[in-house]
Every structure is written in C-alpha cells, then in structure tokens.
Amino acid sequence: MLDMANETKTDITMHPSYITLGMANMTKTDITMHPSYIMLDMANMTKTDITMHPSYIMLDMANETKTDITMHPSYITLGMANMTKTDITMHPSYITLGMANMTKTDITMHPSYITLGMANMTKTDITMHPSYITLDMANMTKADITMHPSYITLHMANMTKTDITMHPSYIMLDMANMTKTDITLHPSYITLDMANITKTDITLHTSYIMLDMANMTETDITMHPSYIMLDMANMTKTDITMHPSYITLDMANMTKTDITMHSSYITLDMANMTKADITMHPSYITLDMANMTKTDITVHPSYIMLDMANMTKTDITVHPSYITLDMANMTKADITMHPSYITLDMANMTKTDITVHPSYIMLDMANMTKTDITVHPSYITLDMANMTKTDITMHPSYITLHMANMTKTDITVHTSYITLDIANISKANITMQTSYITLDKAIIASADISIQVSYIKLQKIIM
C-alpha cells in the first residue's frame, strides 16, 4: 500500500499487480503503469503523455485537458464530457463518448455502433465512417461534412454551409433551412424538406423524392427522377429543366425565361407567365396563360387549351389542332395559326399580316385596321365593318364581307358569290370580276368602276 498522494518526482515505476494507488495529486510526467487491474484515481491528472496499456482500466478523466491521450484497450468507459482539445483518437469498439461539447477539428471515430452526442459540433471535416450512427447535428454549420454510412439519421435542420455530400441510401434529411450551394443528394427514397432552399445547382438524381421547394428562387434546378412532386409556386428563375413524367408543377407565378418542360401530362398553372420562349412539347397540357404577354410562345402538342385573351406580343405560333384561342385583345403582328377548326375572337386585332390558313375559322375582325390581311381558307365569316386599309385580299369562296365602312383603294374580290355591303365605298378603281355579286353602291361617287361580269344587279341610286 503506497501513499503517494504527494509524490512529486519523476519515473515512479510500479510493477506489481493489484496496487491501489492514491495518486489524486500526481502532477509529474511519464508515470508508467504496467500491471493489470490497477485502480487509478487520476481525476486531477493534468500532464501530457500518460500512457495506459493494461486492459479494463477505469479512468476518471473528466477534467483531462491535454493533448494526445491515447487509449488502446477495449471496453473503456470514458467520462470525457469536457474534452476540448484536438486529435483525440479512439480506436476501440463500443465506446460511449459524452462529447456533447466537443468543438475542435478532425475528430475521427472509426468504431461501429458509436452513439455520438454532438449537438453542438461546429468544426470542419468530421468524418464518420461506421454504420448505424445516430448523429444529433442540428446545429452543424460548417462545410464538408461527409457521411458515408448507410441508414444514418441526420437532424440537419439548420445546416447552412456548402458541399454537404450525402451518399448513403435511406437517409432522412431535415434540411428545411438549407441555403447553400451544390447540395448533392444521390441516394434513393430521400425525404427532403427543402422549403427554403434558395441556392443554385441543387441536383436531385434519385427517384421518388418528395421535394417541398415552394420558395426555390435560384437558377438551374435540375430534377431528373420520375414522379417528383414539386411545389414551385414561387419559382422565379431561369432554365428550370424538368424531364420526368407526371410532374405536377404549381408554377402560377413563374416569371422567367426558357422554362422547358419535356414530359407528358404536365399540369401547368402559368396564368402569370410573362417571359419569352416558353416551350411546351408534351401533349394534353392545360395552360392557363390568360396574361401571357411575351414573344414566341410555341405550343406544339395537340388539344391544348389556351386562354390567351390578353396576348399582346408577336409571333405566337399555335400548331396543334382543336385549339381554342381567346385572342380578343391580340394587337401584334404575324400571328400564325395553322391548325383547323380554330375559334378566333380577334375583334380588336389591329396589326399587319395576320395569316389564317386553316378552314372553318370564325374571325371577328370588326375593328381590323391594318394592311394585307390575307385570309385563305374557305367558309370564313369576316366582320370587317370598320376595315380602313388597303389591299385586303380575300381568295376563298363564300365569304360574307361586312365592309360598310371600307374607304380605301384597290379592294380586289376574286371569289364567287360574295355579298358586299359597300354602301359607303367612295374610292376609285374597284374591280369586280366575279359573277352574281350584289353591290349596294348607293353612295358610290367615283369613276372608272369596271364591271365585266354578267348578271350583276346594280343599285345606282345616287350615281
């Protein structure tokens, strides 16, 4: 029995077994203890390089504050709740670490089945390789946390740094407040609560991911998996590419350019879309584009229902058949409509070169005032009462023209059986070559009316 409480010298060597050491106040260096089953009361040990080789040593090191304490035996219970230094290496298995306040760098934990209470870990490069680790990292705020094992439950609700890479499968991520760039999620079946994700280049490659991205505002969000439910009502950036099928997009407030949607059966609520070059290729898309105001909207699929009542820009190309267009306020040029059976409400069309090629189009052009309106299909009903420009060419047959206020020159009417209400025509050189035309020329007062056709009934009341 040694009472060494006040021993202050160096190199005390204790070789026998079963020695009970009262070393509470030992303060020197290089105490070497070789025997087994030594009970050490080292609560106040404060020096460096204490080496303990035997097994089954019970260490009360709650206040150990120095560096490079190496513990090799197995089954050691460490009370290290206040360990604050660097490079603590723990190799044995089944160690229970109370490291809730660990704040330093490069803590490496290799054994399996370790339960880490690291709620306040704030440093970089914590590497966790074992499987089935439960990490409470709610306040982790640093970069480059790499988690490789499978089935890890991460509580990272407040993760705010860059390049968090999560490779294992079946990870449950609570990343509602993730705000940094380049979060890469590769595993399958991940449930992401990313409602406030606001950064760029979030790449989601796995299938069946449930994304709550209602406030996504950055560019180049690429979503490749199928069956993704996207709540992107407030998406405002460019180049959102959505390739999978059956995506439900709530894009009512989408305002940027070049949204490309390639999949089929997409339901788009784009009532407030205001930018250019929206390309929609799939079929059976329901578009609510009542306030679309930009150029070059190309709609290729069939059976699209377009509510374009306030479309005011140029070059709207509508290629599919059976499209219902409410274009009452269309005011720009070069609207080309190729499909058949289109119902056009163009009462206020005022621009040039409207080309309508399909048959059976109902045009309400009462206020058309520009030049060179070319109407090629048959059986078109034109309400052109206020047409005032030149060179209106109408080639199809059986057109009913209400041109009571036509006042310009060189109206050429080549088709047969046209009923002209030209009561107020006052210009010269009206040439009518067709047969069976009924002219109401009560107010015609100019010269050089050439009438070469037979069976014309002229009402020349004021000639």
pLDDT at 93 over 50: no
- Based on C-alpha coordinates, what's the Rg of the chain? 42
CA distance 330 to 314: 9
pLDDT at 462 over 50: no
CA angle, residues 254, 257, 263, in degrees to nearest 5: 75
The rounded Cα 361 to chain-centroid distance in angstroms is 39
The rounded Cα 217 to chain-centroid distance in angstroms is 8
Residue 407's pLDDT band (cuts 50, 70, 90): very low
Q: Which contiguous run of DSSP H or E holds residue 367?
A: none
Tell me the average pLDDT across 308-334.
Answer: 51
Record the tokens describing residue 261, joined without a space. 């949607």
Residue 177's pLDDT band (cuts 50, 70, 90): low
pLDDT at 362 over 50: yes
How many residues are given for the chain? 463
CA distance 350 to 384: 12
Residue 233's pLDDT band (cuts 50, 70, 90): low
The values of phi and psi at residue 192, to 5°, are: -110, 125
pLDDT at 449 over 50: no
Determine contact, residues 124/105, Cβ cutoff 8 Å.
yes
Residue 192's pLDDT band (cuts 50, 70, 90): low
Record the tokens describing residue 43, joined without a space. 């609560």
What pLDDT score does 317 carry?
60
pLDDT at 139 over 50: no
Lowest-pLDDT range of 66-80, 146-160, 264-278, 322-336: 66-80
Residue 99's pLDDT band (cuts 50, 70, 90): very low
Tell me the average pLDDT across 139-155.
Answer: 44
The amino acid at 357: H
Looking at every residue in the chain, the average pLDDT score rounds to: 45
pLDDT at 221 over 50: yes
Tell me the average pLDDT across 337-356.
Answer: 50
What pLDDT score does 109 carry?
44
User: What's the pTM?
Assistant: 0.36
pLDDT at 67 over 50: no
Record the tokens describing residue 321, joined without a space. 């058949």
Residue 417 CB contacts under 8 Å (≥ 6 apart), including other chains: 397, 398, 434, 435, 436, 437
What pLDDT score does 250 carry?
58
Q: Is 244 exposed, middle or buried (0-12, 13-18, 19+ CB in 10 A)?
A: middle
DSSP letter at 139?
Answer: T
Residue 453's pLDDT band (cuts 50, 70, 90): very low
What pLDDT score does 216 carry?
55
pLDDT at 39 over 50: no
Tell me the per-residue pLDDT of 246-257, one tens digit each, with 9 for 90 and over. Answer: 455 555 555 544
Concatenated DSSP letters of 57-121 = --B--TT---S---B-SSS--B--TT---S--EE-SSS--B--TT---S--EE-SSS-EE--TT-
DSSP letter at 310?
Answer: T
Is pLDDT larger for residue 270 or for residue 410? 270
CA max distance for the chain: 144
Is pLDDT larger for residue 295 or for residue 85? 295
HSE-CB for 349 with a 13 A CA cutoff: 28
Q: Left if phi > 0, otherwise alpha if psi is -120 to 50, otherwise beta: which for 227?
A: left
Residue 370's pLDDT band (cuts 50, 70, 90): very low
Lowest-pLDDT range of 118-127, 349-358, 362-371: 118-127
* Percentage of the chain lying above the pLDDT 90 cut: 0
What pLDDT score does 148 carry?
39
Closest CA to 398 of 411, 420, 417, 385: 417
Is pLDDT larger for residue 399 or for residue 293? 293
CA distance 179 to 161: 7
pLDDT at 118 over 50: no
Residue 310 CB contacts under 8 Å (≥ 6 apart), including other chains: 290, 291, 292, 293, 329
What pLDDT score does 130 carry?
39
Determine contact, residues 444/420, Cβ cutoff 8 Å.
no
CA distance 343 to 439: 29
The values of phi and psi at residue 383, to 5°, are: -105, 85
Tell me the average pLDDT across 403-407.
Answer: 44
Residue 229's pLDDT band (cuts 50, 70, 90): low
What pLDDT score does 265 carry?
42
Which three-class secondary structure state does DSSP give residue 400? Answer: strand
What pLDDT score does 271 carry?
57
Tell me the per-residue pLDDT of 412-433, one tens digit each, with 9 for 90 and over. Answer: 443 333 344 444 444 333 444 3
pLDDT at 86 over 50: no
Buried b (16+ CB within 10 A) or exposed e, 35-53: eeebebbbeebeeeebebe
- Report strand pairing: 222-223 vs 241-242: parallel
What pLDDT score does 306 carry?
54
What pLDDT score does 309 carry?
56
Record the tokens describing residue 92, joined without a space. 């044995």
Residue 299 bridge partners (DSSP): 280, 318
Record the tokens describing residue 86, joined without a space. 């660097």
Residue 347 CB contacts under 8 Å (≥ 6 apart), including other chains: 328, 364, 365, 366, 367, 383
Residue 53's pLDDT band (cuts 50, 70, 90): very low
Record the tokens describing residue 425, joined without a space. 């025509």
Lowest-pLDDT range of 74-83, 170-179, 289-298: 74-83
Record the tokens describing residue 126, joined without a space. 């914590």
Give the start-to-end residue ranges of the domains of the chain: 1-79
What pLDDT score does 103 carry?
36
